[in-house]
Amino acid sequence: MEEPELKQLTEKVCEAAKTAGRFILGERKTFDSSSIEYKGRNDLVSYVDKTSEKMLVEELLRILPDSGFITEEKTTSIEGKKLTWIIDPLDGTTNFIHGVPIFCVSIALALNNEPILGVVYEMNLDECFYAWKGGGAYLNGKRIYVSKVDGLKNGLMVTGFAVTDNSKLKSLLEMFEYCIRNTHGIRRLGSAAADIVYVACGRFEGFYEYGLSPWDIAAGIIILKEAGGKVSDFSGSNDYLFGKQIVAANANVFDELLSVIKKTF
């Protein structure tokens, strides 16, 4: 796809994300805990996630009819296409359920498994982050860039804890302690999509997490890259979209952060 076509497509995806976001916020006002379903002990879902996903699939098929989908809630079976939408209809479900105001709609379009556009809409602050390949990254129409902070000691980190995989919990806690002792601090927001785009716009300097799925990070990846950031898996390779581990940071702290992660994990 050419850049002008990607730009127009991204604008349509932003509107789809905002429509889903308005639905989610509306449901939050009357949401009842009896609607919670459990995919695992800490892996929660509700009718809000599923309805939002169905809305998005329907609209994205209208926008790009011959496309496939990788979705968290598996509400569609359309797979195996050259162009594939990777969707998390409500990233931060646990936050949503508990009324904590950080949760997002995350939508990416991948060409042969490479994200070429991404939209992350954090509806509580009405912040729409978006990017397309070669076109830069934006927040509500304004160009964004990663921070210029040089060195972990001057940076603020963010991470998350795996929902179902606790195999690396000891290493994760060691890394958490390292960041407490050697950076400005570390945060845990509960939404990987928000984590990555907050690095992209310079609020955080670095993010790392394991146990993630492609729908958690696909949109954020292209936004971060277009904002000047760097991304890899824990070994420094490129198996981050499906490899269940990711390091994302501004270019100045990336190598230092990756080095610490390699030693810790």
C-alpha 63/C-alpha 120 separation (Å) is 18
What confidence score (pLDDT) does residue 35 get? 77
C-alpha 182/C-alpha 251 separation (Å) is 18
List 138's β-bridge partners, or say none.
130, 143
Q: Token pair for residue 193?
A: 């999509």
C-alpha 49/C-alpha 229 separation (Å) is 30
Q: Is residue 48 within a helix (H) or strand (E), and if so which, with residue range? A: helix 47-63
Tokens 């824990």 belong to residue: 234
Edge-to-edge strands of the sheet including 142-143?
68-71, 83-91, 104-111, 114-122, 127-132, 137-139, 142-143
CATH code of the region 3-143:
3.30.540.10
Asked if residues 102 and 195 have their Cβ atoms less than 8 Å apart, the reply is no
DSSP state for residue 130 in the 8-state scheme = E
What confidence score (pLDDT) does residue 227 get? 98
Q: Token pair for residue 224?
A: 């971060």
Beta strand pairing call for 43-45 and 206-210:
unpaired
What confidence score (pLDDT) does residue 165 get? 82
What confidence score (pLDDT) does residue 146 get? 98
What confidence score (pLDDT) does residue 164 get? 79
C-alpha 150/C-alpha 146 separation (Å) is 11
Asked if residues 179 and 186 have their Cβ atoms less than 8 Å apart, the reply is yes
Helix (H, G, I), strand (E, B) or coil at 97: helix
What confidence score (pLDDT) does residue 255 get? 98
CATH code of the region 152-264:
3.40.190.80
Q: Token pair for residue 244?
A: 């269940």
What confidence score (pLDDT) does residue 42 get? 61
C-alpha 61/C-alpha 178 separation (Å) is 45
The set of residues, in sequence order, having a beta carbon less than 8 Å from that of 138 and lying 6+ positions away, is 129, 130, 131, 144
Instruction: Please list the rounded mean pLDDT of every run of 10 residues in the chain (265 residues).
Output: 89 98 95 79 79 96 95 88 94 94 97 96 98 98 98 97 85 95 97 98 98 97 98 97 97 98 95
The set of residues, in sequence order, having a beta carbon less than 8 Å from that of 177 and lying 6+ positions away, is none
Number of Cβ within 10 Å of residue 175's Cβ equals 21
Entry field: residues in the chain:
265
Asked if residues 144 and 204 have their Cβ atoms less than 8 Å apart, the reply is no
Domain boundaries, the chain: 3-143, 152-264
Asked if residues 226 and 133 have their Cβ atoms less than 8 Å apart, the reply is yes
